[in-house]
């Protein structure tokens, strides 16, 4: 009974009674029964998608080869015609939402706030969201072992700009630029305590969303250089950490703490001052 109810929930969530498998159309309830599902919003005309798809296919094949049968991936296409869809889906080892079901695709994009592609969303067997911003974890070295990628309260910004189901374009972010430090363990532990509190309060909030997402920087790789540039920080990291609040949703605002020692106390004080509106707002450069 329960697995039937779960399967019906997935049919309702996807807005389609059938999914396209490599052997033709099959009932959604049958192919997704009891499975965690990744929705892959993508399109053949999108160069970043075409670069990402082979990596995702490798991950999927690795996970299936390990004997796991508790998950499935579904291609949710933004292709403009059947031919482009068919050509692109042929490169993928997983299922697809039929491309002609535009209404279902539009509803899913709206439901999960998909504004750009590629986007990856993970839902459980009942259709509850596990992670609606899963591109980062999907690209990590331990992706196969850590799937279904439950959101973490704190992430390494040198590896990506997604944290706790959001990215820095959607949420204000507390960022500790610790990339010049010989040992980041202590600063990470202090920030993690604050990040866990923020995540816990977010779960109890009316909208179930965290007030901030939280990042440290283990190295100067990835987006770290861009963050330094946008917030007018020295291009080369010093040995002291820098505490910043990035408020990109507020038209690219940011705030830099004068604190040279970053610990739970200085982070919390900085956040309180931000909430009170007593910090000097600065505008991101280009």
Q: 11: which 2 tokens?
A: 């049919």
Q: Are 143 and 240 in contact (CB under 8 A)?
A: no
Mean pLDDT of 152-156: 92
Average pLDDT over residues 210-219: 95
* Buried-exposed string 105-116: b where 16+ CB fall within 10 A, e elsewhere: beebbeebebee
**Nearest Cα to 16, choosing from 78, 98, 93, 80?**
98
The pLDDT of residue 207 is 86
- Note the pLDDT tens digit of each residue in 233-276: 999 898 999 999 999 999 999 999 999 899 999 999 999 999 99
**pLDDT, tens only, 183-211:** 999 999 999 999 999 999 998 988 889 99
Tell me the CB-side half-sphere exposure of residue 234, using CA atoms within 13 A: 10
Enumerate the H helices of 69-209 as residue ranges.
82-89, 102-111, 135-138, 143-146, 185-204
Q: 3: pLDDT confidence band, cut at 50, 70 and 90?
A: low
- Dump pLDDT digits (tens) for 33-87: 999 999 999 999 999 999 999 999 999 999 999 999 999 999 999 999 999 999 9
Residue 37's CB is within 10 A of a number of other CB atoms, namely 24
Is the Cβ–Cβ distance between 58 and 113 less than 8 Å? no
Contact between 273 and 279 under an 8 Å Cβ cutoff? The reply is: yes
């Amino acid at each position: 009974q329960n697995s039937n109810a779960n399967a019906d929930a997935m049919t309702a969530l996807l807005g389609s009674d059938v999914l396209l498998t490599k052997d033709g159309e099959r009932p959604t309830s049958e192919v997704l029964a009891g499975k965690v599902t990744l929705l892959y919003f993508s399109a053949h005309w999108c160069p970043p998608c075409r670069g990402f798809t082979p990596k995702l296919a490798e991950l999927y094949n690795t996970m299936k080869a390990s004997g796991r049968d508790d998950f499935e991936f579904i291609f949710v296409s933004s292709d403009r015609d059947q031919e482009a869809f068919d050509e692109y889906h042929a490169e993928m080892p997983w299922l697809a939402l039929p491309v002609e079901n535009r209404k279902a695709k539009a509803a899913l994009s709206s439901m999960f706030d998909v504004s750009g592609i590629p986007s990856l969303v993970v839902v459980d067997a009942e259709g509850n969201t596990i992670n609606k911003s899963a591109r980062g974890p999907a690209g990590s070295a331990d992706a196969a072992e850590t799937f279904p990628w439950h959101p973490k309260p704190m992430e390494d910004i040198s590896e990506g700009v997604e944290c706790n189901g959001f990215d820095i374009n959607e949420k204000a972010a507390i960022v500790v630029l610790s990339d010049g430090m010989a040992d980041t363990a202590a600063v990470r532990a202090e920030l993690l305590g604050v990040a866990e509190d923020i995540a816990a309060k977010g779960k109890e909030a009316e909208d179930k969303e965290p007030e901030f997402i939280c990042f440290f920087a283990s190295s100067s790789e990835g987006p770290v250089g861009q963050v330094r540039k946008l917030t007018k920080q020295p291009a080369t990291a010093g040995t002291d950490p820098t505490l910043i609040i990035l408020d990109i949703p507020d038209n690219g605002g940011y705030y830099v703490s004068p604190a040279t020692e970053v610990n739970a106390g200085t982070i919390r004080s900085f956040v309180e001052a931000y909430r009170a509106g007593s910090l000097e707002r600065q505008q991101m450069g280009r």
